A and B are shown apart, each in its own frame.
Chain A
Amino acid sequence: MRTRLRRVTLSLLLSATACGGASAPEVTSPGPAAAPDASFSVWDGVYAAAQAGRGVAQYAEACSSCHAEDLRGNSNAPSLVGVSFLFVWEGRSLEELFTTIRTRMPTNAPNSLPVSSYLDIVAYILERNGYPAGSSEMEADPAVLSRIAIIAREGGA
């Protein structure tokens, strides 16, 4: 019941279409490490394609010199894609990822970009990790972001 309620709330916040498309979110086990109140996952279309598109150039400008153009990192900066990214982030919330990036990155100038740029960049990271876009833009609302879990695949893997 609680879960259902949250889903409705999120849908409202993301605009009704975000979660109401062909693939309505199946609420399966969010994984052992997931934040207990996570009701949604990055598979639910939590950002807009246009937002990720804006993130491309901003990532290149603010992040790629350390995390590399293909997001796989270098000897100093960790990978932001694939199994390496999931190893660190699986089961944690999008709020944590967003806040980590906003308050710590770039390491030489944390919190130096507009919030919208951080959102665009996070959207781009999600896109590069293969998570689907939805129809609404992701917003910097901790109440919403903290309910979205980063998971590998619904139902495991």
Chain B
Amino acid sequence: MKRLLLGVAVATLCVSAQAQAQVDGFRPVTENMLREPAPEDWPNWRRTDNAWGYSPLTQITTDNVGQLQLAWSWAMDDTGGQEAAPLVHDGVMYLPSPRGVIQALDAATGDLLWEYRPGTTPRVDGSPTTENSGLPQGAFAGVGRGVQKNIAIYGDMIYSATGTASIVAVDARTGLQVWETQTADPALGYFYTAGPIVAEGVLVTGITGCDRFKEGVCFITGHDPRTGEELWRTSTVALPGEPGGDTWSDLPPEFRAGSDAWIAGSYDSQTGLVYWATSQAKPWARAVRGAAGDALYTNSSLALDPQTGELVWYYQYLPGETHDMDEVFESVLIDVDGRPSLFKMGKLGILWQIDRATGEFIQATDIGYQNILDVDRWSGRITYRPGMIPEMGVEISMCPSTSGFKSWRAMAYSPQTEVLYIPITFNCENATFGPTEQVLGGGGTGPVRRINTPHPASGGNLGELLALDIRSGEVVWRHRTRSPINTAALTTAGGLVFAGDWDRHMYAYDAETGDILWQSRLPTSAQGFPISYMVGGRQYVAMPVGSGGSSWSTMLPRDLIPEMRRPNNGNSIHVFRLPD
């Protein structure tokens, strides 16, 4: 009884505390503000719909970047993997943290305005919210590292997708939860690491956690941002009897695993299409999953009508992929000589250019680091090299390893240089793929006997920021670091590129030459999505920092650069500006 009373008292306190700290004079975010952001703002996860990761701000330039100073920093929850993509709207930073926590900070000072903490922060009506920190009962896949990459802002709400397979709307003024909609059963392994994007008034979100065999496959949904009502749902796997359903041999639906949609997509208001990509099939190797076909729609770009979820076209990069070479990453939309294009790079380090109006292939540039397949530059057709299709129990030496050269560390584009800046990790692996159990609950990626080896062309380095010309695919410059480039890239109109490495460096590069013009040392690995924004006439550059990343930030440094160490905690964000 006493306990109950105390609970009520605490809940009340929380509500009043929430009510005090809030965003004053909040201006609702319109569709137009998302489509054409104010130069000061960063309202989409890659700022603009085309996922350029580019800020038009020019206060910080190649001339003065050497004077950058820390303006403020903020410690984030150390309860999981930190891969944040913060947003900024009207001088407020909305910062996603591990395990569903979202904080609103004064973007000039770092002062906390509100925080949403699942299970602690109540709903707008005062009722309790669901905790998003533990493993759901009966889970057979788990929420992993609690990663929450991106969130979305629209109207007067912040939207996130949770580690327990729900989508949440939080009042952008107060942090109180407005609605939560469950989209799948987390006990079956479903969870989110990527948040929604907003297109044509619809919240579009892609789910992950589809590695284990279960009834049901991965999907992308459209939700009504006001009510949380599901408007449509499109499967990322072609099922028997559907178009493309015969590309998984004759596997029944429950054994068609993978095609997770774990990275947020892009949108083009001209074509009216959302571009979302999918991951590889599971288990990873054909021999292990027992299907020789293309396995649609794995490792594909899907062009979806945001109103209906209709699949307007798809392009499959790696039909029947068989080494865990994921192509799910960001879709960068650039018009090249009048041709509306979509650029993508997956783990293999092949830069794909396709026509985003039609899905037609344009060209492919292999950066030349992989040894698994040959790609025809002008048709996009892939051919596995002799002996490189894994057989069960037979070791192959492959570059990259299953960690990939490219990963969620999004590349950035600068319209000034017409160059893509791509965070790369060098790695190879002696890999022997092995069996899984073909039963419900079984499956997964399949086991791999894995020996990490350095990449022969890397000069002992694990990291590279690679600048590629979008027309020719030629290397403009490359800058190598001993440890992995561990963040997305950020470009600014000041002629700069920002990124950071595992060994706690943050770098400002000259976008034209690759020269390092400024660097700083951070508490642990730079990790996440750096952004730039302006408040009160001053430009800021924010760099998320943290641990708990992917294999290239855990096992690769451990095995290949053992002389380097980093703290295994220290999730935080560090914000820089020019001196007064």
Q: Which residues of A contact B (CB under 8 A)?
A: 60, 64-70, 72-79, 82-85, 87-88, 104, 107-110
Contacts and interface: CB of A to CB of B under 8 A. Distances in A.
Given A65-B144, A69-B138, A75 B449 contact: no
Contacts of A83: 434-437
Binding site of A, secondary structure by majority: helix, strand, loop or mixed? loop
A65 B143 contact: yes
B383 interface: no
Interface of B: 81, 135, 138-146, 189, 208-209, 211-212, 260, 282, 393, 434-437, 441-442, 444-449, 547-548, 550-551, 554-555, 558, 568
Contacts of A79: 436, 444, 447
B109 to A, nearest CB: 30
A68 B145 contact: no
Nearest to B208: A75
8 contacts: A65-B145, A66-B142, A74-B211, A76-B551, A82-B442, A84-B447, A85-B447, A87-B435
Given A72-B141, A76-B144, A82-B437, 11 more contacts: A64-B135, A64-B142, A68-B139, A68-B142, A68-B189, A69-B135, A76-B551, A79-B447, A84-B437, A87-B447, A88-B449
B548 A66 contact: no
Given A76-B550, A108-B568, A87 B434 contact: yes
A110 B135 CA distance: 21
Given A75-B209, A107-B555, A65 B142 contact: yes
Contact of A87 (B138, B143, B441, B449): B449
B449 A68 contact: no
A74 B212 contact: yes
A84 B434 CA distance: 7
Tell me which of B139, B208, B209 has the highest count of chain A C-beta atoms within 10 A of its own C-beta: B139
A73 B444 contact: yes
A135 to B, nearest CB: 31
B278 to A, nearest CB: 13
Nearest to B143: A65
A34 B568 CA distance: 34
Given A87-B435, A104-B558, A108-B568, A72 B442 contact: yes
Nearest to A109: B568
Contacts of B445: 73, 75, 78
Contacts of A109: 568
Contacts of A64: 135, 139, 142
Nearest to B558: A104
A75 B208 CA distance: 10
B19 to A, nearest CB: 34
Contact of B282 (A75, A87, A104): A75
B135 A65 contact: yes
B144 A70 contact: no
Contacts of A82: 437, 442
Nearest to A71: B140
Contact of A108 (B189, B282, B547): B547
A152 to B, nearest CB: 12
A74 B437 contact: no
Contacts of A108: 81, 145, 547-548, 554, 568
Contacts of A107: 548, 554-555
A108 B570 CA distance: 11
Contacts of A72: 140-141, 212, 441-442, 444
A108 B554 CA distance: 8
Given A65-B143, A66-B142, A84-B435, A75 B135 contact: no
Nearest to A82: B437
Contacts of A84: 434-437, 444, 446-447
B447 A70 contact: no
Contacts of B442: 72, 82
Contacts of B141: 68, 72, 74
Contact of B139 (A69, A75, A78, A85): A69
Q: What 4 pairs between A and B have smallest CB-CB spacing?
A: A87-B434, A84-B447, A75-B211, A87-B447
